[in-house]
Amino acid sequence: MIRESCCFALKELKRWMKPEKVATSITTFPSSAKVVSEPLGVVLIISAWNYPFLLSIDPVIGAIAAGNAVVLKPSEVAPATSSFLARILPDYVDNSCIRVVEGSSPETTALLEQKFDKILYTGNARVGRIVMTAAAKHLTPVVLELGGKCPVLVDSNVDIKVATRRIVAGKWGCNSGQACIAPDYIITTKSFAPKLVDALKITLEKFYGKDPLESPDLSRIVNSNHFKRLMNLLDDEKVSGTIVHGGQRDEKRLRIAPTILLDVPSDSLIMKEEVFGPLLPIVTVDELREGFDLMNSKGKPLAAYLFTKDRKLEEKLVKTVSAGGMVINDTILQVTNPRLPFGGVGESGMGSYHGKFSFDAFSHKKAVLSRGFGGDVPMRYPPYTAHKQKILRGLITGNIVAVFLALIGWTRH
């Protein structure tokens, strides 16, 4: 994906940089107008641990393409990648304008005390608030790529084999659920839930075997702190009786088997916070359309997914649910299209990047209006007579008829 992002930027950069000509109005006639992209200056990129290479380099591509100097702060939770970037990146980029700063909370705090021209942060909402507070002291704009509980609405009319494969790939195939756009919970009808659970079990066994803890295709949990956090969600007394598949764990090797929970109470911990792991709750409703109310009762997610053959249901999702992005009849693939923006809304973040959206995120759009010395209108200068004011009103509102009538001295009654 990084290679494709680089190639796409190289291919499109001249077009992105080209000033955009825009129409002018009668008020400025004769004139020409354009929007010019210019670099913001020095930008700070604070990346996350779950895709530590991708989430570090992808925004850097956009920042460099837009002409900025860049400070990259990789996540200390992925120390091998952080060390790799600090060691290798200087061999390939201009060190006078692109630097990698390693460290943990003290180093990040020190960086946030500096004045940057823009900050892009990828991570959780708690730290996002800290970043935004620090940025506010310098009136620095921010892009926050956060997360949230990404719902999956599953209709009973779907191709269940294809649907479950795509849900499993998006949940457990993506870092064992440690992804901001991974499915967080499923909503389906009470009547269809048993079929869906059975299909998910079959798919999980096919992908990861009868003992998934030994599967080479299943990611570990990143560290012991996150392992304990997930165990707290799973061992909550409100959900302990809802596990219908999985639940095995190996704390020494930081492995948790794919786990499905059915009819999880809405007031349980797992339904209150982002899971960010291999646990998948299923919530059932009488009618699938009730699922829209359930989605909207929670914070706006980074992604929302729908599996259905019903076009009206698809339209309803797009019109009534606010989310950073959406995919119909699949999961996570929205991030692979560089022509789509990637970003959140509300609690899941602000701003977006990828492709031209990255270039725009790190650019200032400068308005440029150019005029010659001809076509000077005396009406814009004092003294402002009633006649001049009529003409000025027409010019400002773009009302050519009013201008013409004022010029010939005709008065409306």
Q: Residues 382-408: pLDDT tens digits?
A: 888 888 888 878 877 877 777 777 767
Q: Which amino acid belongs to residue 89?
A: L
What pLDDT, in 10s, does the model give residues 4-62?
Answer: 999 999 999 999 999 999 999 877 889 999 999 999 999 999 999 999 999 999 999 99
Q: pTM above 0.85? A: yes
On the question of a cis peptide bond just before residue 39, with omega within 30 degrees of 0, the verdict is no
**Parallel, antiparallel or unpaired: strands 255-256 and 249-250:** antiparallel
pLDDT of the residue at 100: 97
pLDDT of the residue at 52: 97
pLDDT of the residue at 213: 97
Instruction: Read off φ and ψ for residue 119, nearest 5 degrees.
Output: -125, 130
Residue (of 219, 347, 177, 328) closest to 272 by Cα position = 347
CA distances from 129 to 62, 132, 145, 208 (A): 24, 5, 12, 38
CA distances from 113 to 105, 109, 270, 361 (A): 12, 6, 35, 22
Ramachandran region, residue 283 (left: φ > 0; alpha: ψ -120 to 50; beta: rest): beta
Helix axis angle, 400-408 to 386-397, nearest 10°: 160
The CA distance from 145 to 54, in Å, is 13
Overall residue count recorded for the chain in this entry: 413
Q: What residue has token string 């180093």? A: 107
Structure tokens that stand for 216 in this block: 């080479």
pLDDT of the residue at 411: 61
**Parallel, antiparallel or unpaired: strands 118-122 and 98-100:** unpaired
> How do the pLDDT tens digits run along the chain, 413 residues long?
999 999 999 999 999 999 999 999 877 889 999 999 999 999 999 999 999 999 999 999 999 999 999 999 999 999 999 999 999 999 999 999 999 999 999 999 999 999 999 999 999 999 999 999 999 999 999 999 998 999 999 999 999 999 999 999 999 998 999 999 999 999 999 999 999 999 999 999 999 999 999 999 999 999 999 999 999 999 999 998 899 999 999 999 999 999 999 999 999 999 999 999 999 999 999 999 999 999 999 989 999 999 999 999 999 999 999 999 999 999 999 999 999 999 999 999 999 999 999 999 999 999 999 999 987 878 888 888 888 888 878 877 877 777 777 767 666 65
Instruction: Read off φ and ψ for residue 282, nearest 5 degrees.
Output: -120, 125
Q: Which amino acid belongs to residue 224?
A: S
* Active-site annotation, residues: 145, 180
Instruction: Read off φ and ψ for residue 118, nearest 5 degrees.
Output: -165, 150
Ramachandran region, residue 398 (left: φ > 0; alpha: ψ -120 to 50; beta: rest): left
The CA distance from 309 to 158, in Å, is 6
What sections of 18-120 are H helices per DSSP? Answer: 54-65, 79-88, 105-112
List, in order, residues 6 or more apart from 137 with CB less than 8 Å away: none
What sections of 174-305 are H helices per DSSP? Answer: 193-208, 224-234, 269-272, 290-296
The CA distance from 412 to 355, in Å, is 54
Structure tokens that stand for 366 in this block: 């400068």
Q: Which amino acid belongs to residue 61?
A: I
Q: What residue has token string 């992002």? A: 5
Q: Which amino acid belongs to residue 367?
A: A
The CA distance from 276 to 153, in Å, is 18
Q: Is 133 helix (H, G, I), strand (E, B) or coil?
A: helix
